Amino acid sequence: MRTVEEHQAIVLAGVEPLEVIEVPLLEAVGQVLARDVVAPWPLPSFDNSSMDGYAVVAADLAGASVDVPVVLNVLGDIAAGGDSSAVIAAGTAVRIMTGAPMPAGADAVVPVEATDGGAERVTFTAPVSEGACIRRAGEDVVAGETVARAGDVVSERTIPVLASVGLGVLPVRRRPRVIVISTGDELVEPGTPLTHGLISDSNGYMLTACATAAGADAVRAPRVRDDAEAFRAALDAAAAEADIIVTSGGVSMGEYDTVKAVLRASGEVEFAKVAMHPGMPQGSGHVGERRVPIITLPGNPVSSFISFELFVRPVIRRMLGFESLFRATEPAVALEEWHSSVAKAQYARAVLEVGDDGVRRVRPVGGQGSHMMAGLAEATALVVVPVGADRVEAGQTVTVIDLNRETP
């Protein structure tokens, strides 16, 4: 048996980030920038008012007080996006709105609340310091500054600065096309009435959803019967356009394990036992002229989910250009005791809670059988019980993967 880490290294061997493409801003959210982004102009790009008020020459208001108010003539209005050709001379003011460009000659803005709000003549009762309420060009970003670096993840927080430096598109890696093929004579399309012995193809949907959540452009192929020719045909079709092929089912020791039979005979995939529970039978290799990476996952739904998490998600992330391929682990205190197989790493479905005391605690959920989907639905975390441990004690600190948390 090989370890989880050894199998991860094997599936990742030779996988490289995909080619760089330019995509519209919103399509880039969640993606890794492939190149540095440099601001071609400063931000703000012009001096502008930070308040609704009056643009003035500060020296005009030097002696203003309640007892000796200063009254100025208002030359007109400048709105945000408006014309700033007005030139202020001593003794005049311009009514200005937040974000409007400063008129030439003015060196301060007095907020409207501090005045009588006049439209033709405006009264000031206090002095103003030079530069008050002006946002200076370049005080946020200077021209030529790098506002985001290759490797940064585009997020709702980086989008404002990236959009503001005028980039309609961003350089990212093409999303890998993942084709998911479920195999099994027992599988029917969800929504179809079941006759005895048949089940819905839940893995096809789960794995496609997992791949989409990981950032892939994922599609679910129609399910394939346990028939060598049908599987080969589905595989050849997928190999023509996929960047990654993921199969579910047909890799254990049964008589009708077609995936294993076909791919072992062709030598395209190496099958191995990985010291993990659930999900021991695994396979990986390359198919077709394009040498498309293929990862064959076991059919039991929970095995399939955990295998995806450990072996497929990192491959997708590498193709997308992420530096960190694996979800972070963190310590938590186990609330119950449970058993684990000493020879395998266990990935126990669990609920992770953070108490008012700030301590993270986990309790296992649902049945831990690899066919038990209700527990998976409830789980928010996986507890990793390492090889060598035969149990977890209540109160023990364990290693947890928080499934709701992205990688750091």
User: Where on the chain is the footprint of ligand AMP (CB under 6 A)?
Assistant: 182, 184, 186-187, 199, 201-204, 248-252, 254, 298-301
Q: Which two tokens stand for residue 191?
A: 């929504």
Residue 49 binding: pick among Mg ion, ligand AMP, none (C-beta 5-8 Å cut-off by kind): none
Q: Which residue number, 204 or 249, has a Cβ lying nearer to Mg ion? A: 249
CB of residue 250 to Mg ion, shortest distance in Å? 5
Phi-psi region for residue 99, left (φ > 0), alpha (ψ -120 to 50) or beta? left
CB of residue 199 to ligand AMP, shortest distance in Å? 6
Q: Which residue has the tokens 């129609």?
A: 222
Q: Which residue number, 298 or 321, has a Cβ lying nearer to ligand AMP? A: 298
Q: Find the binding residues for Mg ion in span 248-277 (CB under 5 A).
A: 249-250
Q: Which residue number, 167 or 276, has a Cβ lying nearer to ligand AMP? A: 276
CB of residue 98 to ligand AMP, shortest distance in Å? 57
Does position 279 interact with Mg ion (CB under 5 A)? The reply is no
Q: Which residue number, 75 or 199, has a Cβ lying nearer to Mg ion? A: 199
CB of residue 397 to Mg ion, shortest distance in Å? 39
* Residue whose Cβ sits closest to ligand AMP: 299
Rounded to 5 degrees, φ, ψ at 27 are -70, -20
Residue 204 binding: pick among Mg ion, ligand AMP, none (C-beta 5-8 Å cut-off by kind): ligand AMP
CB of residue 185 to Mg ion, shortest distance in Å? 7
Q: Using an 8 Å Cβ cutoff, are 78 and 94 in contact?
A: yes
Q: Which residue number, 176 or 283, has a Cβ lying nearer to ligand AMP? A: 283
| Pairing between β-strand 199-200 and β-strand 187-188 as defined by DSSP bridges | parallel
Residue 238 binding: pick among Mg ion, ligand AMP, none (C-beta 5-8 Å cut-off by kind): none
Residue 364 binding: pick among Mg ion, ligand AMP, none (C-beta 5-8 Å cut-off by kind): none
Q: Which residue number, 103 or 299, has a Cβ lying nearer to ligand AMP? A: 299
CB of residue 249 to Mg ion, shortest distance in Å? 4
Is the Cα torsion angle 65, 66, 71, 76 positive or negative in sign?
positive
Q: What DSSP string runs through 268-327?
A: SEEEEEBSEES--EEEEEEETTTTEEEEEEPSSHHHHHHHIIIIIHHHHHHHHT-S--S-
Nearby residues of 133 by Cβ (< 8 Å), 6 or more positions away: 49, 50, 51, 53, 108, 109, 110, 111
Site string for Mg ion, 344-383 (x = CB under 5 A): ----------------------------------------
Residue 278 binding: pick among ligand AMP, Mg ion, none (C-beta 5-8 Å cut-off by kind): none
Three-point CA angle 168, 171, 174, nearest 5°: 120
CB of residue 253 to Mg ion, shortest distance in Å? 11
Nearby residues of 233 by Cβ (< 8 Å), 6 or more positions away: none
Q: Which residue number, 221 or 315, has a Cβ lying nearer to ligand AMP? A: 221
Enumerate the β-bridge partners of residue 153: 32
Q: Which residue number, 176 or 250, has a Cβ lying nearer to Mg ion? A: 250
For residue 159, the tally of other CB atoms under 10 A from its CB is 15
Q: Is the N-terminal amide bond of 281 cis, ω within 30° of 0?
A: no
Q: Which residue has the tokens 């479905």?
A: 349
Q: Round to whole Å and give the CA distance between 140 and 147.
A: 10
CB of residue 207 to ligand AMP, shortest distance in Å? 8
Residue 107 binding: pick among Mg ion, ligand AMP, none (C-beta 5-8 Å cut-off by kind): none
Q: Find the binding residues for Mg ion in span 198-257 (CB under 5 A).
A: 249-250
Q: Residue type for 278, please?
A: P
Applying CB under 5 A, among 44, 53, 176, 184 the residue interacting with Mg ion is 184
For residue 392, the tally of other CB atoms under 10 A from its CB is 21
Q: Round to whole Å and give the CA distance between 186 and 385.
A: 33
Q: Which residue number, 207 or 334, has a Cβ lying nearer to ligand AMP? A: 207
Q: Which residues bind Mg ion (CB under 5 A)?
A: 184, 249-250
